[in-house]
Amino acid sequence: MPRRRPRSESCRGDYGMPSTRTRYSILGLALPALALYSVFFVWPLASGLYLSLTDWNGLARTYNFVRLRNFTELLNDSLFLSSIGVTLKYAAFVTALQVALGLILALLLSSKRIRFRSFLTTAFFLPKVMSAAIISVIWTFLFGNAFRAALSLIGMENTAFSWLGDPDQAIYSLGIVEVWHGLGYYMIILLAGITAIPSDVLEAAEIDGAGLWQKASHVTLPLLAPTIGICSILAIANSLRAFEIPFIMTAGGPGFSTTTLAYFIYNTAFQSKRFGYGCAAALYMFAGIMAVTLAQLWIVQRKGVEY
């Protein structure tokens, strides 16, 4: 039961609007979120900015303020630069496959002529609800032992491909795992986008005599463009942060061929014990991802205007 307390003038503000006091005091409700967010996100972010200007090794009690030395050293660090290259290769590969395959599957599954649609949806979506770390463990075995054994069963042992051992190939093998993991998610989003297309538009096209592919390319795809845009943004943002899969499956190897940017930062801090240097690299990563995401948003906005 609400308390009955004497209402003063200030509780009634303008008609329909809460009073000044209530509009301020209501912010008290936001305190828990603000407090925890500030302590565990904002403060570390600020402190990371500061640490990136030092040479702290994570262990010693004292450290030196080295200003921008970490940042310039990183630009000359071949391992850092190669990790950027690795990450970009991975992200491009993964995003292209996830969006393309997701689109194909979504288009197929949206058609009423396909049977067992709910089973198919479940099957493709299932890997998404599992932990990337847990999935990586199984795929390590598949790439390492199982595929070779399966090939030898049909006598093709010598054509066995070195999935994780070939430095040029390994990053793409990891990409396959990421695609397998996330494909269902993008398929579902695109499927939702397709079902959101008003059916009268599609019917109009059919009446005009459009066939399956014509319908798809001239009606569905253009209307789906914003959704495709969203999917690519999500996919790229996600794959640029790849850590668990390379961490568990190849530990960044062979050599440095699967050391992604996130893994480089982890290694720098916890293996090479250079916390300050790692923070600087992490800031570069932040800047990079922000730049890529903003660029994509700009492209999607522009494309949206055209249609």
Partner 1 sequence: MKRRALLGLIAAFALSMAAVNPCYAQKPVTLRLVQWKTEAREAIEDIIAEFHREYPHITVNMEIPGQYDSYIQAKAAVNELPDIVGLYGTGLFDYAKSELIQELTGAPFLSRCTPFSLRATTDQNGRVWGLPIDGSAIGVYYNKSIFQKHNLEVPRTMAELEKVCTVLKKNNITPFALAYKDAWTIKMAAITCYDNYVYGPHPDWTEQRNRGQVTFAGSSEWKQVLDALRFILNNGNTNTAFETDYDTAAVMLATGKSAMLVQGLWALVGIRSIDPDMDLGMFAMPAFWPGAKLVHFTDLCLCMSANTKHPSEARLFLDFLTQPQAALAWCRGAQLFSAVKGVKPDFDPITGDIFAYIDRGDTTTVHDRIWWSSFNTTFEKVIQEWMVGSTTDAEALKKLDDLWDKAKASGNR
Partner 2 sequence: MKARRGLLVSILLIMIAIVYMSPFAFAVISSFKSKAEILLSPVAWPESWSMRNYTEAIKRSNFARSLIYSLIITATAVAGITIAGATAGYAIARSYPGLSSVLLSFFGMSMFVPFQTIMIPLLRTAMSLRIVGSVPGLILIYIGLGCPLAVFLYYSYIRAVPRALEESAVIEGCTHLQVFRHIMLPLARPVTGVVAVLQGLWIWNDFLLPYLILQKPLTIPLNQVYFYHSFNRDWNYIMAIFVLSTAPIVLLFLCFQRRIISGLIAGAVKQ
Of residues 166-195, those binding partner 1 (CB under 8 A) = 166-167
Looking at 59-67, 114-122, 212-220, 228-236, which segment touches partner 1 (CB under 8 A)?
Answer: 59-67
First to last CA, the chain: 54
Say whether the peptide bond before residue 254 is cis (omega within 30 degrees of 0). Answer: yes
C-beta closer to partner 2: residue 40 or 298 = 40
- Choose the one of partner 1, partner 2, none that binds residue 59, judging by a C-beta under 5 to 8 angstroms depending on kind: partner 1
3-class SS at 54? strand
Tell me which amino acid residue 301 is.
Answer: Q
- Choose the one of partner 1, partner 2, none that binds residue 79, judging by a C-beta under 5 to 8 angstroms depending on kind: partner 1
C-beta closer to partner 2: residue 168 or 250 = 250
Structure tokens at 171: 């990053």
Instruction: Give the one residue of 18, 144, 226, 288 binding partner 1; rule: CB under 8 A.
Output: 144
C-beta closer to partner 2: residue 27 or 168 = 27
Instruction: Give the one residue of 270, 286, 299, 304 binding partner 1; rule: CB under 8 A.
Output: 270
Distance, CA of 147 to CA of 141 (rounded, Å): 9
- The residues pairing with 54 across neighbouring beta strands, listed in sequence order, are 65
Neighbours of 153 (CB within 10 A): 9
Is 257 an interacting residue with respect to partner 1 (CB under 8 A)?
Answer: yes
- Choose the one of partner 2, partner 1, none that binds residue 113, judging by a C-beta under 5 to 8 angstroms depending on kind: partner 2
Nearest CA-CA partner of 175 in 238, 218, 108? 238
DSSP string, 67-95: TTHHHHHHHT-HHHHHHHHHHHHHHHHHH
The answer to whether the CB of 268 falls within 8 A of the CB of 278 is yes
Is 255 an interacting residue with respect to partner 1 (CB under 8 A)?
Answer: yes
Distance, CA of 177 to CA of 181 (rounded, Å): 6
Instruction: Give the one residue of 13, 18, 71, 77 binding partner 1; rule: CB under 8 A.
Output: 77
Looking at 26-34, 116-124, 263-271, 280-288, which segment touches partner 1 (CB under 8 A)?
Answer: 263-271
Instruction: Give the one residue of 251, 291, 297, 299 binding partner 1; rule: CB under 8 A.
Output: 251
3-class SS at 65? strand
Binding mask 93-122 for partner 1 (x = CB under 8 A): ------------------------------
Q: What is the DSSP letter of 238?
A: H
- The residues pairing with 65 across neighbouring beta strands, listed in sequence order, are 54
C-beta closer to partner 1: residue 90 or 275 = 275
Distance, CA of 124 to CA of 103 (rounded, Å): 13
Residue numbers at the binding site for partner 1 (CB under 8 A): 55, 57-61, 73, 77-79, 143-145, 148, 162-167, 250-257, 267-268, 270-274, 277
